Amino acid sequence: MVVESPTKVKTIQKYLDKKFLVKASMGHIRDLPKSTLGVDPNRGFKPKYVVSPSKKKVLDELKKAAENADALYVATDPDREGEAIGWHLAQELAVDKKKVYRITFNEITERAVKAAFLDPGKIDLRKVDAQQARRVLDRLVGYSLSPLLWEKVQRGLSAGRVQSVAVRLIVDREREIQAFQTVEYWSLHANLEGKRPPRFVATLKEVRGEKPALPDEATTRALMASLDGARWVVRSVTRGERRRNPLPPFITSTMQQEAGRKLGFSARKTMTVAQQLYEGIDVGAEGPVGLITYMRTDSVQVSRDAQAEAREWVTDRLGRDYLPDAPPAYRSRGRAQEAHEAIRPSEVGRDPKAVTRFLTRDQLALYRLIWERFLASQMVPALYDTVAADIEARDTVFRAQGSTLRFKGWTAVYEESREDDAIADEEPETAVPPLEEGEVLTLHGLDPKQHFTQPAPRYTEASLIKALEELGIGRPSTYASILGTIINDRGYVHRERRTLFPTELGMTVTDKLLPYFADIMNVEFTAQMEDSLDKIEGGERKWAEVIQEFYGPFSKDLKKAHVEMKSEKAGEETEETCPDCGKLLLARRGRFGKFLACSAYPDCKYTRNLGGAERPQDEPTDEVCPACGKPMVIKHGRFGKFIACSGYPECKTTKPITLGIACAEPGCEGQLVERRSKRGRTFFGCSAYPACKFVVSQRPVAEPCPKCGASFLTERAARGRQTRTCVRAGCDFKEEAETTVA
């Protein structure tokens, strides 16, 4: 039986008797070659697969194990990628097709694993075709556009079929914000009191039967003056009931969004921690146990067994009133894989308290989120008593509205988070006393408030994932890699306290590609391509036909771009001369923005950052100084960013900004921080320096080593490849993946 991860091996092996040997493929064992295109457009886009150099040893071990096996059970992940891995394995191991069986399970529990063997199937070649189509598409785009960008902008850049659209969304939003014209407006609020307490606030809703227009303070003050001495009378009181229905259980995208908003996790970190929970956590006497179901899914379906477990828990702990007569049914979006399940705890009875001592802080936080969300999804709505009162004063109408929680329902175990802009758009509610129609109220003052229209907010990882999902771009398994590529690997986007900003380089690349590759940069076209991949999986389309439809126009656009696209490499002439040699300086673009360079390069290597003279402004944080109580801010120093007291120089408290990754030195309790050397090179060291002098030069990634379990890997992207290696001495884990595919 072959699975993808070695972590699963321990968990699954204990469920099977000794006649089974469980082995791990460590992900893909073969792929397109990294040195050549590996796809032949003249032969139906036939791909050429080669065994990955880092997987030769793994494959040799699998072949040796398969020699004496009676049957091969492919138990890779239950998605397109897992199906393709299984197909490649079967091809390389050369096992008789009649002896190759495909089994899948959505949770790694004894019940699910043993049930999978009761009805084994065969590898689904339509899923394999869909994955192959995506892989070929991404290779054609990545291996064609990246050299174009090297030629026209700078070496080391890449473009991808989906990543380019994601960057465009961020760039377009930034330009909307830059072009936005702020408009002033005012609101007016009345502080009122009735026959019974409490006092309450009502907001102006009508003036002479129309929506009020208060563009400035003068107009607002004039209206206030017209209400001087007015009689305030309750015109109508409307009482009602509002139901807040429970949210469906998590799918991949909603889990990433909620973990981002509530826990501050990046999409990549969310998936890393979820993978750990799915593959198995050692919970003491039971050994390794898979705590959640498969975390790459777009289906909200839930098994009857899980629903029954949830109903039993709710009845025992909260009471029958919290359960609907029948389990709720939720509808998945679009062409979701209904054979899959939503993300849920594998056993509801294993609540977060029961596993706290076995989990890391991040694992516990995400497990609690998944566990609470699933339970809430199986409960009754929350009920609120609502009241809205319209109050007349001369020719104006003010409205007071409020709500009172009558029954908690699902909110007894879970409270959803919302984006800041969604909260800002809501009408504020106030405590409204019992009022009667015709009741005369006492005015205790009018409160005018100034406002300014705001542009759409910049994307966060959570809101970008939501946008990609709503637009039909990408799939659950790709969101984390898309964001990781554009933020961490390419430098097209940078993240500041969860907010995503396009870099100068990201805007330049977008502007270069858009005129020549309208399809690739088009949101609707990218969504249609995702739909075509779904149709390949459904047997409605042939994969080579889909590729041909795309490649014909794309190859023409590519030839045109090579001829017509203006190069950024030469730079634009300026009127300034080089202080070293007197030749003209050129304005050029680099990964970190615009800079000036001497036109006599390489004979003269003078450069100057065009933004270097401006001191970056301090950025606020949610922390307060432990020494003096003043707010802490993020400052930009000679060796990178750090946190310092805003009371400097009176208070000189400082602390490093950590990556949230524990130091690899045994016994050290420090965390890794990003630093810069005197020569400007980035490296990563321990926050406990100088007591601990651990350093690594490559960027750490909060993913445990799948081979030895070390707490993190290091990542390096170069020449269109992403390489991850283990830092632990004696461990030879190394994994390569192409970075242009997203």
Burial 630-640, CB ≥16 within 10 A → b, else e: eebbbbeeeeb
Q: Could you tell me which of 367, 226, 394 has the C-alpha nearest to residue 295?
A: 367
Q: Which of 143, 278, 294, 551 is catalytic?
A: 294
Question: Residue 465 corresponds to which tokens in the numbers above?
Answer: 């994932």
What is the spatial distance between Cα 433 and Cα 441, in angstroms, rounded to a whole number?
Answer: 12
User: Which amino acid is present at 417?
Assistant: S
- CB 580 within 8 Å of CB 604: yes
Question: Residue 718 corresponds to which tokens in the numbers above?
Answer: 């170069």
What is the spatial distance between Cα 672 and Cα 687, in angstroms, rounded to a whole number?
Answer: 6
Q: Which residues pair with 40 in a beta bridge?
A: 46
Q: Could you tell me which of 669, 720, 562 has the C-alpha nearest to residue 31?
A: 720
Distances (CA, A) of 327 to 304, 314, 361, 369: 9, 12, 32, 20
User: Which amino acid is present at 591?
Assistant: R
What is the spatial distance between Cα 246 and Cα 302, in angstroms, rounded to a whole number?
Answer: 15
What is the spatial distance between Cα 542 and Cα 44, in angstroms, rounded to a whole number?
Answer: 11
Distances (CA, A) of 382 to 241, 271, 426, 636: 10, 30, 19, 47
Q: Does the annotation mark 294 as catalytic?
A: yes
Answer positive or negative: Cα dihedral of 347, 353, 358, 363: positive
**Run of H or E including 191:** strand 184-193
DSSP conformational letter for 233: E
What is the spatial distance between Cα 557 and Cα 552, in angstroms, rounded to a whole number?
Answer: 9
What is the spatial distance between Cα 221 and Cα 201, in angstroms, rounded to a whole number?
Answer: 18
Q: Is it true that the peptide bond before 602 is cis, omega within 30 degrees of 0?
A: yes
Among all residues, which ones are annotated catalytic?
294
